[in-house]
Structure 1
Amino acid sequence: MTQQRKQKAVQKDYSGPAGGWGSVRAVASILTQEEVRILGSEILWKQNKPDGFMCVSCSWAKPAEPHPFEFCENGAKATAWEITPKKTDPAFFEAHTLTELRDWSDHALEENGRLTHPLRYDAARDKYVQVSWDEAYAEIGAELKKLDPKEVVFYTSGRASLEASYMWQLFGRMYGTNNFPDSSNMCHESTSVALPQVIGVPVGTVLLEDFEHTDCIFFFGQNTTTNSPRMLHPLQGASKRGVPIVVFNPIRERGLERFTNPQNPVEMATGSTTRIATQYYQVKPGGDIAAIAGVCKALIEMDVVAQQNGRPRVLDVDFIAQHTHGFEDFAAFCRAQSWVDLEAVSGLSEAEMRQAARTYAKANAVIANYGMGMTQHVHGVEACQMVVNLLLLRGNIGKKGAGISPVRGHSNVQGQRTVGISEKAKLVPLDRLKELYGFEPPREDGLATVDACEAILDGRVRGFVALGGNFLRAIPDHSRMEPAWGKLRLSVQVATKLNRTHLIPGEVTYLLPCRGRIEIDRQATGPQAVSMEDSTTCIHGSNGFREPVSAHLRSEPAIVAGLAKATLARNPKVDWDAWVGDYSLVRDAIEKTWPDQFEGFNKRLFTPGGFPRPLGARERKWTTPNGKANFTVPKSLENRLPAEEGVYQLVTLRSDGQFNTTVYGLDDRFRGVFGGRDVVLMNTADMARLGLEKGDTIRLVTAYHDGIRRELGGLQVLPFGIPQGSIAGYYPECNVLIPVGHHAQGSKVPAAKSVPVRIEKDTAALAAE
């Protein structure tokens, strides 16, 4: 395969619903593209089934009684991407230098196929060369022994299983570090910081069954079309019951508008669709706090009027009195807000906010879903807490059909935090690890993702060992991070496919290929199963069904054990070989470490629908310092930096054909963008004001006052239905515009949904054309 050349995108209307024949054609196309059409269709029958394998992409809940096809379009793409017979083998690297490969697109690199052999970077030849596993383990272990553990980062992608993640964090802590940044630091860490303060748990309270009992659903900043399409099944069911679905989102996403169920023959034959959103409010990016404040203000005013007229109260005053703290301060804050300010910041009218409040007030059980459109902002933590405020007003946490539902996009990112992948020492049972394994764990907090980036930039981190992921593409500030990365002493990447991070070597660099979750994992005691946790805290087992693409691949647990044995002094209380031979022993160890969360782990591993971890907030037991659910008052109405003249808020997006940094194809059909990703989606009024026409080429320059110029040129302007003053572009390409220091206060999640930028004509690109 050769480099994919940049090409201009074509914009055309796509009127189809989410799902439907468009989804069927997309699945057929990806199976053909990855040369797995026959085998792939057979394996897809097993996807997200109780005795099958859990999807390697999204973490949405898996039902106990699955549909015949319990996978979505993007899930099928992820499966085909993993089980492709295409290979990136040593012969490929013999033919290409890393300098050459850096000109390839993200799509072209991964599309080339699965990695097959362990590799070491040869600087003299600028190529990866094949090595043996023993040789790789030995040199990596020797390098780790030379480094100060505080200078080494142990990164984790959200796809690693609970078993591999538990072994990874134990290896790192026995080595002497708490530097465990992971995917959560880039997306839902705002949730993990916000929720414990207000409801006592770091995760959502909603179970899949709650969607069957709810009578109202709210959405904030979450695009179910691309991030969790299987969620459309419970949404369709709710819609058909007449449940109002209220959406706050800057862009009208097709999956939140209408859906044709590909598993319904009548719908497919007739082309009929189900309405999803009953009310759709295009809030400004970063305007969610103001929008929710407006809804809450309206509810509080409605409650006063109800009292004056002798009608039933609008607020659940008994719940507020018995279970909450801080209501009066929050109510005073809402009363003090002017509708003029709320309208200006949110981009919504007073009438729209009052309409949403009336819908909310009529419901007895409300679910509030949200995604990275809430968390990836400067005040993302406060935005999450505003959702809780809204729910607490009417007692919508801790009862059937109601609750808070942060929708995580990565398959096991939530589960990894559960089994110890955290840089925060207080979140890990260090005393229990000490008791079980006879070592003294480090007690100080480690580095989160932003901290790790800053430490790499200033030379404080010298070693980076990654269990999956594409760290250099996922993080902000590409133009600064890539040169700094080359100064690392040690870079080790465990991966299934080649990606951009692998092409920026340190002084000593290894690329270790692992088996995928869908591949059969044969160990000493036979084929092994692994486990993961979904967004609703349910734990699922997963079996492999595909023969490994290469006999030279090793499983993630085997690789972790190999590195640990080569690095650490022998510890008689940790039998790495036994754990690799039988993963049920790792699950026993997880249960011993968290007996309250994983009781009967191995026995319940393949429970249909998974088994839920116990969660106090579901039972209105608030494990907060004051023993109450807490109302909070936001510091600012704006979930973004203060506005400046001539500055636009850039929202980074994932396309229809994408999962995180993995780009399956160049089309984004729901947004009508085909054949290219170097685009900026822009309001037509803003285009007219700047004298821009469709197809003009522009450059974005970050408006962040730290003296560093960040820019991205060659971007094609396309008209789009986005609020004025806002623009949108694709992730990860636009990450070059995000400063490392531009992140959520309190959680350090990169503020990728509201990046301040200025727009310039790209004269260089125009001249080249």
Structure 2
Amino acid sequence: MKQRDDAPEIEPFKGPAGGWGSVRSLAEILPRERVGPTAVAQLARQNKPEGFACVSCAWAKPAKPLPFEFCEEGGKATAWELTSLRTTPEFFREHTLTDLRGWTDYELEQNGRLTHPLRYDAATDKYVGCSWDEAFDSIAAELKAIEPKAAVFYASGRASLETSYMWALMARMYGNQNLPDSSNMCHESTSVGLKAAIGEPVGTCRLEDFEHTDAIFFFGQNVGSNAPRMLHPLRDARKRGCEIVVFNPLRERGLERFTDPQNPREMLMRDETRIATQYHQVRAGGDIAAMTGMCKFLVEWDDAAKASGGEAVLDWPFLDQHCHGVDTFLDAMRAASWDDIVAESGLDKWAIEQAARVYARAKAVMGIYGMGLTQHVKGVDNVRMIVNLLLLRGNIGKPGAGPSPVRGHSNVQGQRTVGITEKTELAPVEKLKEIYGFDPPTEKGLDTIETCRGIIDGSVRAFLGLGGNFIRAVADTGPIEAAWHKLRLSVQIATKLNRNHLFTGEVTYLLPCLGRIERDEQASGPQSVTIEDSTSCIHGSIGRVDPASEHLMSEPAIVGAIAERLLPPNPAAPWSEWVGDYSKVRDAIEATYPEKFKDFNARMWTPGGFWKGNKAAERVWQTETGKAEFHVPETLSATGFDDADGRFRLMTLRSNDQFNTTVYGYHDRFRGIKGTRDVLLMNQEDIRANGLKEGQRVALSTDVEDGIERRLDGLLVTPYDIPRGCLGAYYPEANVLIPLEHHADESHVLAAKSVPVRIVA
């Protein structure tokens, strides 16, 4: 089962993204997961109309799909879900949870799909089989016995719109909106930043914008590992002359070179498409400085043009009609110091000027970004700064232009759309009151950071997890693991065993559910579900594969069964009817959100999805001033801490062989690392300056004085092309180093892309 090697192989990878390496990587996982021919055939249905939506990333699904509309990562996710390996009650008779805590993340999930509902038995420290009725009755009884505000209803990003709507409604009818989700860990900085700046919490771009853009600016996003299907529209854009400018601390292969695995000529001739026309290795946390430098150039060029009677560089008709705070922002850019910009960004002035010149001559610019922007203390300022840059030349609300955050999990954006939020202003409170005849809570609920605080101090008494691996994904893993036993009730709805399941409350249930690719039969027949992609398009998804076990229940069925036992009868919320026919849940969603989900059932199979709409894309700004808002950042650094001798900026990274906390194997192909995840990526000059050697084992300790010792041992010093003063280590292992209070201002996203650490040799 183990893939680790006592002698890991570390050798620079010279090939492109995609190509034969991608084909080989996918070919390796299929036999490892023991996926049969019938399951393999499902890959042809992935991300297709009338097919199933990928269970990994949230990238857009085109109306005219490629013959194989899945990437290497998506294929691995499908194989992972359709594995023939099983984790049965017999497995738990052989292993205590204490023993299993010594297993790696890979080993736990590689044991296979969960097959039966399970209850934790403290006397034996083992999970034992139980009936579904026993589990549901006990969960409802425990929830009724505590104060509702002491319960948390967490949701990972893969649950469908139908399940998510039911989950959020159940929580509010129960009496709270403690509805944190995985967005709190990744793109909540987007939700806060974009909402404040343009009145919408999501990006404005759609897939067709790639056909009209002149320039694409990337910030902190690794497309090759995190959303590889985007490489196809990037390749097409590049071939027609679109310039692609990248700001990223690491040189990621997917943004450098790509060979299309679906192009026979490219595969046979080993042709490559150069993706980035400029690649700027900004320091971790230095993006505000880099964007400030670009804006400073643009403003100064416009000032010079105005003085000489030349053509304006800034889009003044757009600025005058649509923007607020323009003069204050322009003055701040004029006053910004080049010495400070260069020092913080790690880029020289000439490099920033070259990027600004591309931006200045482009008629339509897209700003694509990922967690390299959002997961900083000043993550919201990062997001607002990219909006500032786009606004200067009217690059929002026209074809080929706008902000385009790349979301992670497949429906994380959609969950927020249908009510999974702790914020009253984002919940349809009046509609819920009108439709269901109850008074929804209006007190702000707990987000992820506040949930973790409550678990540690004991004020959170119940945690219900709709998927995910919460303990592994959050900051301060050690203290959270140590405090989990304080919970009275812990419930996890999951497809596979993960580390969170090994930490228990006084009463603990592990409830196995159907996967999205499996056939879901209910009273009215086979059911389909829906998801929302990163571009705000809604897609239908239907599974065809036989379930992994006859004892599994669907996520909507599990939520409906708990709700029926927990809540008083309400004719307006017929949980059993909803479970019997998911189209009725979609009717309820449409009634609650009539503008976004008009004719929901009729449109759910629209090729390419149906767009839920975006006012900012129409240049309608739902802000306090009714205009797009410029924002002056407080500082050029997004890190939230000062530099100091011996202090490094640690970035947590994802391997090419993982998706979020799920590890598919031990081969990070693009970084040339095989057989281990215990690596520390360092600049060669930093290795020499600190008296270290390649291959030496070191530890990292968090450079924060808060009374908690945080340390990660056994890391292999690995030379890498990374800016000086910056380090890279894998997530989620490195989460033990992130203090809970090291999070983004306003959004509370864990600041995992710039953690202050020291090396302990």
TM (normalized to structure 2)?
0.99
Worse overlay, 565-574 or 515-524: 565-574
SS at match of 1:757: strand
Question: In the alignment, residue 204 of structure 1 is paired with which amino acid?
Answer: G
SS at match of 1:486: helix
Contact 1:69-1:263 within 8 A present in 2 as well: yes
Q: How far is 1:648 from its partner?
A: 0.3
Partner of residue 692, structure 1: 692
Quick one: distance in 1 between partners of 2:38 and 2:634? 54
Equivalent residues in 2 for 1:294-373, closer than 5 Å = 294-373=293-372
SS at match of 2:516: coil
Q: In percent, how many aligned pairs have the same letter? A: 62
Partner of residue 157, structure 1: 156
Contact 2:528-2:582 within 8 A present in 1 as well: yes
Quick one: distance in 1 between partners of 2:702 and 2:646? 12
Partner of residue 277, structure 1: 276
Quick one: distance in 2 between partners of 1:568 and 1:485? 26
Equivalent residues in 2 for 1:477-492, closer than 5 Å = 477-492=476-491
Partner of residue 630, structure 1: 629
Quick one: distance in 1 between partners of 2:688 and 2:7? 21
Equivalent residues in 2 for 1:528-543, closer than 5 Å = 528-543=527-542
Partner of residue 399, structure 2: 400
Q: How far is 1:363 from its partner?
A: 0.4
Contact 2:214-2:362 within 8 A present in 1 as well: yes
Question: In the alignment, residue 664 of structure 1 is paired with which amino acid?
Answer: Y
Question: In the alignment, residue 57 of structure 2 is paired with which amino acid?
Answer: C
Partner of residue 616, structure 2: 617
Contact 2:556-2:579 within 8 A present in 1 as well: yes
Quick one: distance in 2 between partners of 1:162 and 1:135? 27
Question: In the alignment, residue 720 of structure 2 is paired with which amino acid?
Answer: F
Q: How far is 1:8 from its partner?
A: 4.9
SS at match of 2:310: coil
Partner of residue 476, structure 1: 475
Contact 2:687-2:693 within 8 A present in 1 as well: yes
Quick one: distance in 2 between partners of 1:314 and 1:23? 43
Quick one: distance in 1 between partners of 2:244 and 2:409? 24
Quick one: distance in 2 between partners of 1:39 and 1:108? 25
Alignment of 1:146 onto 2:124 = no
Partner of residue 228, structure 1: 227
Is the alpha carbon distance of 1:12 and 1:6 closer, same or farther for their aligned partners in structure 2, counting shifts above 3 Å? closer
Q: How far is 1:5 from its partner?
A: 6.4
Q: How far is 1:708 from its partner?
A: 1.1
Partner of residue 67, structure 2: 68
Is the alpha carbon distance of 1:272 and 1:6 closer, same or farther for their aligned partners in structure 2, counting shifts above 3 Å? closer
Q: How far is 1:698 from its partner?
A: 0.6
Q: How far is 1:571 from its partner?
A: 1.6
Contact 1:258-1:273 within 8 A present in 2 as well: yes
Alignment of 1:654 onto 2:672 = no
Quick one: distance in 1 between partners of 2:81 and 2:709? 38
SS at match of 2:562: helix
Is the alpha carbon distance of 1:491 and 1:434 closer, same or farther for their aligned partners in structure 2, counting shifts above 3 Å? same
Contact 1:693-1:717 within 8 A present in 2 as well: yes
SS at match of 1:649: strand
Q: How far is 1:569 from its partner?
A: 1.5
Quick one: distance in 1 between partners of 2:340 and 2:707? 32
Q: How far is 1:390 from its partner?
A: 0.3
Worse overlay, 208-217 or 26-35: 26-35
Contact 2:364-2:401 within 8 A present in 1 as well: yes
Quick one: distance in 1 between partners of 2:560 and 2:398? 43
Question: In the alignment, residue 357 of structure 2 is paired with which amino acid?
Answer: R
Worse overlay, 565-574 or 698-707: 565-574
Quick one: distance in 1 between partners of 2:705 and 2:631? 30
C-alpha distance after superposition, 1:318-372 (max 9, x if no partner) = 1000100111111111111111110000000110111100000110000000000
Q: How far is 1:7 from its partner?
A: 4.1
C-alpha distance after superposition, 1:84-129 (max 9, x if no partner) = 1110001111111111111000000000100000000000011000
SS at match of 1:26: helix
Partner of residue 755, structure 1: 755
Equivalenced residues, count: 760
Quick one: distance in 1 between partners of 2:408 and 2:230? 12
Contact 1:8-1:678 within 8 A present in 2 as well: no
Partner of residue 710, structure 1: 710
Q: How far is 1:14 from its partner?
A: 1.0
Quick one: distance in 1 between partners of 2:3 and 2:611? 45
Q: How far is 1:13 from its partner?
A: 1.7
Quick one: distance in 2 between partners of 1:7 and 1:669? 18
Contact 1:185-1:449 within 8 A present in 2 as well: yes
Partner of residue 415, structure 2: 416
Partner of residue 701, structure 1: 701
Partner of residue 117, structure 2: 118
Quick one: distance in 2 between partners of 1:7 and 1:290? 42
C-alpha distance after superposition, 1:239-292 (max 9, x if no partner) = 100110000000000000010000000000000000000000000000000000
C-alpha distance after superposition, 1:735-763 (max 9, x if no partner) = 000000000000000000000001111xx
Quick one: distance in 2 between partners of 1:5 and 1:216? 42
Quick one: distance in 1 between partners of 2:51 and 2:510? 29
Alignment of 1:522 onto 2:521 = yes
Quick one: distance in 1 between partners of 2:453 and 2:664? 31
Partner of residue 94, structure 2: 95
Question: In the alignment, residue 662 of structure 1 is paired with which amino acid?
Answer: T
Quick one: distance in 2 between partners of 1:420 and 1:263? 39
SS at match of 1:541: strand
Q: How far is 1:306 from its partner?
A: 2.0
Is the alpha carbon distance of 1:457 and 1:419 closer, same or farther for their aligned partners in structure 2, counting shifts above 3 Å? same
Q: How far is 1:39 from its partner?
A: 2.4
Partner of residue 173, structure 1: 172
Partner of residue 743, structure 2: 743
C-alpha distance after superposition, 1:404-426 (max 9, x if no partner) = 10110110000000000000011
Worse overlay, 416-425 or 305-314: 305-314
Q: How far is 1:307 from its partner?
A: 2.2
Quick one: distance in 1 between partners of 2:247 and 2:692? 28
C-alpha distance after superposition, 1:486-515 (max 9, x if no partner) = 111100000000000000111100000000
RMSD across aligned positions (CA): 0.9
Q: How far is 1:6 from its partner?
A: 7.4
Quick one: distance in 2 between partners of 1:39 and 1:702? 48
Question: In the alignment, residue 694 of structure 1 is paired with which amino acid?
Answer: E
Equivalent residues in 2 for 1:223-262, closer than 5 Å = 223-262=222-261
Quick one: distance in 2 between partners of 1:295 and 1:72? 34
C-alpha distance after superposition, 1:470-500 (max 9, x if no partner) = 0000001011110101111100000000000
Q: How far is 1:643 from its partner?
A: 1.2
Q: How far is 1:304 from its partner?
A: 1.7
Q: How far is 1:43 from its partner?
A: 0.3
Question: In the alignment, residue 658 of structure 2 is paired with which amino acid?
Answer: Q
Contact 1:31-1:40 within 8 A present in 2 as well: no
Quick one: distance in 1 between partners of 2:257 and 2:656? 16
Contact 2:5-2:675 within 8 A present in 1 as well: no
Quick one: distance in 2 between partners of 1:286 and 1:477? 21
Question: In the alignment, residue 297 of structure 1 is paired with which amino acid?
Answer: K
Q: How far is 1:51 from its partner?
A: 1.0
Q: How far is 1:38 from its partner?
A: 1.9
C-alpha distance after superposition, 1:225-245 (max 9, x if no partner) = 111000000000001001100
Quick one: distance in 2 between partners of 1:652 and 1:223? 13
Question: In the alignment, residue 187 of structure 1 is paired with which amino acid?
Answer: C
C-alpha distance after superposition, 1:520-553 (max 9, x if no partner) = 0000011000000000000000010111010000
Quick one: distance in 1 between partners of 2:279 and 2:589? 43
Partner of residue 765, structure 1: none
Contact 1:9-1:678 within 8 A present in 2 as well: no
SS at match of 1:235: helix
Contact 1:650-1:753 within 8 A present in 2 as well: yes
Quick one: distance in 2 between partners of 1:210 and 1:4? 41
Quick one: distance in 1 between partners of 2:617 and 2:255? 27
**Runs (5+) with no aligned partner, structure 1:** 762-769
Quick one: distance in 2 between partners of 1:339 and 1:691? 33
SS at match of 1:552: coil
Quick one: distance in 2 between partners of 1:566 and 1:731? 38
Quick one: distance in 2 between partners of 1:9 and 1:752? 26
Quick one: distance in 2 between partners of 1:300 and 1:41? 55
Question: In the alignment, residue 164 of structure 1 is paired with which amino acid?
Answer: T
SS at match of 2:387: helix
